[in-house]
Amino acid sequence: MMQQLRWSGVISLLTFLLLGSGAQLVAADPADLMLPRYRLQAGQELVFRGRSEFHYKGGQFLQREAWNCWVVRENPDHTWRIILKRVSTFTQLSETAGDDERKATLQKHAENLNDTDALDEVEFVQFDFAPDGRCQESTSLGFLTRPHKVLPSLPQTLAEGQKGWKTQNDKLNETIAYRLLPGSGANECLIETLDESPFNTISGVVQQTRVTFDLQRGLPSKFATEIRQTFGFEGKGTGTFELAELKTHSAEVCQQFSAEAEQCLSQLDGYQQACQRQNLPPKELRSALLKREEDLQELEQKLQSPELKTLMMQRAKARESVLKYIFEAAKDRQALLGTASETWKTTDFAGTEYSLKDCRGKVVVLEFWFRRCFWCIRAMPQVKEVAAHFKDQPVVVFGMNTDAKDDDAKFVVEKMGLNYVNLKAAELTSGYKVSGFPTLLILDQQGIIRDVHEGCSLTLKEEVIRSVEKLLATPP
């Protein structure tokens, strides 16, 4: 969770840096276009590598990234089962750094992405993928690893390609718009992408990506991105990405790899679920997580696939960096549960006064957030659904904003279309021991803190609704 806080401003620049948004697209002559289709084969391993840099007043951010895409089988419906691994590392370089510091930083940034000590993110997912680029949802797909970054959607027809097409991810509140353009060669085309997610607007991000698609091989080969940001880290950047290697594996290797990958994903999912059991007593949470760690280590010893062994080592290294924080946060949460909330007064951004005392007899949900928080914006669609779910019930949902400038908060409220009241709450975080964002607290009808959710998960809405409904069913 501390890592989420650390990179909340950086992610707005770099996590999306090869996704695309923000350019005016130019229509093409249909005679110059061919309908692109993926021509994957079971046994292929596609290796994409890229880098980006973003310059802002005071310094720069550097990112290196690698994706391994294994095509482990062809399904009866002519889709492919894909296993995807993504690793990345971020580096921040101050313009005031001396020559020795700059040299050391750049040298570390240039290290191999297989170095587990250098990695900031390690993701591992599987899904089924169609020749037109449709990606079937799976439980392993999360917030950061979106397959369209290296496997963009394709049009159904040439007419749709020229007119433009879109893909919608309701889970992430994200729409990707595409347009097909002729390439520089006879056997290629260009795909321009625009990210229409509210987060880009809120972050002041304008970003254009052009994907070169090899029509003969049926694969994307190059990605080129330009980006500028006008909020937070104001500046400009570029990114390049390419298909660096194309390997082939035997059917036996793919079968073994697929079976072992299923086991790894199942164990990792169990570990993630254990991490989300935030309100367990600290000793129980520690016991549950350590048991999951033992299961993962036991599985790692049994794995035959070198790639999966390396992957699990990388994931283990990533877990080490957050475990201590999880245990400390669990103690803080446990100390909060069952305690009476402070009786505060504050106003919304129109000056209307609100008091917690006036909410007695109702369940109260408090969502602490600020504009530059990537995870806060990602959580808001689910909080909106919570507010809508309890619209005519004795439940109050408050957004608790901590931005220094009212205009930043009002901008987010408007762009996200928030259907719940948002309050000025910068002075209220200490009373609830808020250390990570977003943090959602649930107070019962007497103002007693009964539940705490820190961070954003794909099941946040369901977890909050379940907690609120329990309080409504058995009021104190």
- Over residues 250-281, the pLDDT tens digits come to 999 999 999 999 998 888 888 877 777 666 77
Residues of the chain with pLDDT > 90, as a percent, come to 51
Q: 395-401 and 363-369: which strand pairing? A: parallel
Are 67 and 246 in contact, with CB atoms under 8 Å apart?
no
Q: What's the pLDDT at 315?
A: 78
Average pLDDT estimate for 3-10: 40
Q: What's the pLDDT at 287?
A: 84
Label residue 456 by pLDDT band (50, 70, 90): confident
323-378 pLDDT, tens digit each = 777 777 777 788 888 999 999 999 999 999 999 999 999 999 999 999 999 889 98
Q: Two tokens at 414?
A: 């408007």
Strand partners of residue 228: 206, 236
- The pTM of the full predicted model, rounded to 2 decimals, is 0.81
Q: How far apart are CA 318 and CA 423, in angstroms?
A: 36
14 against 288, higher pLDDT: 288
Residue 137 has φ and ψ, to the nearest 5°, of -60, 145
Cα–chain center distance at 11 = 9
Q: What's the pLDDT at 321?
A: 67
391-410 pLDDT, tens digit each = 999 999 999 999 999 999 99
Half-sphere exposure of 190 (CA within 13 A, CB side): 18
Q: What's the pLDDT at 7?
A: 38
Q: Is the pLDDT of residue 216 over 60?
A: yes
Q: Is the pLDDT of residue 28 over 60?
A: no
C-alpha distances out from residue 454 to 268, 273, 368, 376, 460, Å: 20, 14, 10, 10, 10
Find the range with the poorest average confidence among 79-88, 90-99, 175-184, 244-253.
90-99
Q: Is the pLDDT of residue 232 over 80?
A: yes
Q: Is the pLDDT of residue 312 over 90?
A: no
Are 95 and 47 in contact, with CB atoms under 8 Å apart?
no
85-126 pLDDT, tens digit each = 888 888 888 877 777 777 777 776 666 666 656 666 778 889
Q: What's the pLDDT at 10?
A: 42
Label residue 19 by pLDDT band (50, 70, 90): very low
Secondary structure class of 252 (helix, strand, coil): helix
Label residue 9 by pLDDT band (50, 70, 90): very low
Q: How far apart are CA 267 and CA 295, in angstroms?
A: 7
Label residue 464 by pLDDT band (50, 70, 90): very high
Q: How far apart are CA 436 and CA 368, in angstroms?
A: 9
Average pLDDT estimate for 191-195: 90
List Cβ<8 Å contacts ≥24 apart for 291-296: 292/267, 293/319, 295/267, 295/270, 295/271, 296/267, 296/268, 296/271
CB atoms within 10 A of CB 218: 15
Q: Is the pLDDT of residue 23 over 50?
A: no
Q: Two tokens at 360?
A: 């007695």
Q: How far apart are CA 110 and CA 89, in angstroms?
A: 10
- Cβ neighbors of 383 (< 8 A, separation 6 or more) are 365, 367, 397, 399, 420, 440, 460, 461, 464
